[in-house]
Amino acid sequence: MNTIRDLLQPNKCLGLPGVFDGISARIADSLGFPALYMTGYGSVASSLGVADAGTATFSEMLDRVRCVAGAVSVPFIADGDTGYGGLLNVDRTVRGYAAAGAAGIQLEDQEFPKKCGHTEYRRVIPMADAVAKVRVAVEARPSADFLIVARTDARYAHGMDEALRRADGFLEAGADILFVESPESLEELRQISERFRGATLLANMVEGGRTPYLGTDELASLGFTVAIYPSVGFLAAAAALKTSYSRLKTAGIGTGGAELMPFAEMNALMGFPAVHEFERRHGQTDARL
């Protein structure tokens, strides 16, 4: 299996779909994406049914990393929020994510409890503390193939100059990928790429978010190497569920609303053919025979 580092190419932008549970992970993997991104917002929403506002624990997120790792055959970067505490917690989080099957971790410089990067009321910890977290993460990873994505949310509260200054510190601390969260214009995206020409830069594309929504070709032309699309999957799933459930509520039947994946195709996606083959090999028979 390729590492994510192997997939990074000059003048190209690697687009990573956001996955958040076993179904979304299997679908993205089956479509041939070479790598994935495990979104914190989607993982928290789907597993806990609450807002991505610092409510998920390390243990809960680690369970979701294991779930995704068990469902896919390609590498993925997983959202590690703030590292779930101080420096010792960051060390444990990086080691835990790597052991659970992630190929990289995203860590941010928000105060606890953190907030989703395109929402309000975000505050950041002092720069020295944020840089120390990145340094600890780099030391804790099992190998250089495990990527450290260092994110700053300083643009929201303190402006671009502070965000760029923090990204400088993250690069010096050994971060593999720099992630300046929620720039609010094309000019700010250009500022980031010009400041860190030659570095591996990540852009976060959120439908309806604060940053101009661009495709991978446009982002590559701006100098970005990685783009995550964390919300497209769970927004699409939520819309389809709302349509289908509304149809069931009003018409008394589930069909006729959103397009449904055929049941047989879903069975194949989730691995039922392998289950049936296992049962045949071990002497199980169909109860109807």
Lowest mean pLDDT across 81-95, 147-161, 269-283: 269-283
What are 50-66's pLDDT values in tens digits? 988 888 999 999 999 99
The alpha carbon dihedral of 129, 211, 77, 3 has a sign of: negative
The CATH architecture to which 4-231 belongs is: Alpha-Beta Barrel (3.20)
Over range 66-73, report the average pLDDT: 98
pLDDT value of residue 2: 82
For residue range 153-180, what is the model confidence (pLDDT) as tens digits?
A: 999 989 999 999 999 999 999 999 999 9
What is the pTM assigned to this prediction? 0.94
d(CA 98, CA 201): 22
- Condensed to tens digits (0 to 9), the pLDDT of residues 179-238 reads 999 999 999 999 999 999 999 999 999 999 999 999 999 999 999 999 999 999 999 999
Find out whether 81 and 54 touch, Cβ atoms under 8 Å.
Answer: yes
> Which residues, at least 6 apart from 87, have a Cβ–Cβ distance to it below 8 Å?
132, 133, 136
What letter represents residue 221's amino acid?
Answer: S
Closest CA to 17 of 41, 43, 42, 35: 35
Pair 179, 152: CB distance under 8 Å: yes
What percent of the chain has a predicted confidence (pLDDT) above 90?
88
* Three-point CA angle 211, 213, 216, nearest 5°: 120
Question: Which of the four pLDDT bands, split at 50, 70 and 90, describes residue 289?
Answer: low
Residue 112 pLDDT grade (very low, low, confident, very high; cuts 50, 70, 90): confident
**Range of weakest confidence among 65-74, 109-118, 253-262, 270-279:** 109-118
pLDDT, tens only, 116-136: 767 676 899 999 999 999 999
Q: What is the mean pLDDT of residues 72-87?
A: 97
At 43 the pLDDT is: 97
Cβ distance 56 to 81 under 8 Å?
Answer: yes
| Distance in angstroms (rounded) separating the CA atoms of residues 34 and 83 | 26
User: Domain spans of the chain?
Assistant: 4-231, 238-281
pLDDT at 251 over 70: yes
**Each residue of 7-37: pLDDT tens digit?**
999 999 999 999 999 999 999 999 999 999 9
Residue 245: pLDDT band by 50, 70, 90 thresholds?
A: very high
Residue 52 has a pLDDT of 87
pLDDT score, position 22: 97
Question: In degrees, to the nearest 5, what angle opens at C-alpha 65 toward C-alphas 62 and 66?
Answer: 90
Does residue 75 have a cis bond before it (omega within 30 degrees)? no
Mean pLDDT, residues 56-85 taken together = 97
Structure tokens at 263: 């049941």
Give the Cβ contact number of residue 147 at 10 Å: 22
Mean per-residue pLDDT of the chain = 95
pLDDT at 283: 78
pLDDT at 285: 73
Instruction: Choose among 210, 208, 205, 211: nearest CA to 227.
Output: 205
Residue 241: other Cβ atoms inside 10 A: 12
Output the pLDDT for position 287. 66
